[in-house]
Amino acid sequence: MTLNTTAETETARIARGLRERDMELLADLVERCQHRLVRYLLYLTGRRDYAEDLAQETWVRVLQRGSQYNGRQRFDPWLFAIARNLAIDYLRKKGKAVQTALPNDRDAMLLLPSSGPSPFEAAARSEDAIRLAGQLQILSPLYREALLLRFQEDLSLPEIAQVLGAPVTTVTSRIYRGLAALRSAFEEGGDSPEL
């Protein structure tokens, strides 16, 4: 009860601060969320340079449209949803998008493979993580982002659904498929499922 009240107060305080364009509050949010935001965008785009640019753009959007945050949900999913929409638009503008069979499907933009060196290998801090890094790089960003939001950001399934703009069933399906693909990294002689 106390925790809920505290959480409500916190989100309400953030909503009020964003409405009033409180720069101190924004600086505080940047301090708390910037690292996680870049990490999420990195998982989404597979590119460090894109992730840094998009993170800056996301904060500008938060400043401009802060009044749209109602304070009823947690701030993080709202922030990630903004970042995700920007990432999709950014990739489209960068010419990463090609006309696919589903040209109107925004998620199709994320299915494009990213180029350049893998940021996952650089970030792996254990032997298991190193084995996963290769799988992560070839894994569809749709599954990669679902896994990140669940197991690194610890968002609930409804919160992830809010970020992705997809039903909870789709979210769980992506997580299960992503897990299945990554599990194959530890299976002897196991082939990774094509995702």
Partner 1 sequence: MIRLNCDKKFRELIDRSFVEEVSEGERQLIHGHIRDCDGCKRYVELTARTIRGLREFTFTPDPDSKAQVREILADHAGTMRQHNVQFKIWAAFAVALSMSFVGSALVYQVTKRLAVPMHFDTAQLQAGVLIFWLLPSFCAALCLLAAPRENRGIA
Question: Would you tell me which residues interact with partner 1 (CB under 8 A)?
Answer: 21, 23, 26-27, 30-31, 34-35, 38-39, 42, 52, 55-56, 59-60, 63-64, 119-120, 123-126, 128-129, 131-133, 147-148, 150-152, 157, 172, 175-176, 179, 182-183, 185-187
Kindly state the smallest distance separating residue 109's Cβ from partner 1, in Å.
23
* Residues counted in the chain: 195
Q: Is the dihedral of CA 106, 110, 112, 115 positive or negative?
A: positive
As a three-state string, the secondary structure of 132-175 is: HHHHHHHCCHHHHHHHHHHHCCCCCHHHHHHHHCCCHHHHHHHH
The token pair that represents 33 in the structure block: 């969320």
The C-alpha R_g of the chain, in whole angstroms, comes to 17
Q: Whose Cβ is closer to partner 1: residue 106's or residue 173's?
A: 173
Kindly state the smallest distance separating residue 171's Cβ from partner 1, in Å.
9
Q: Whose Cβ is closer to partner 1: residue 91's or residue 139's?
A: 139
Kindly state the smallest distance separating residue 182's Cβ from partner 1, in Å.
5
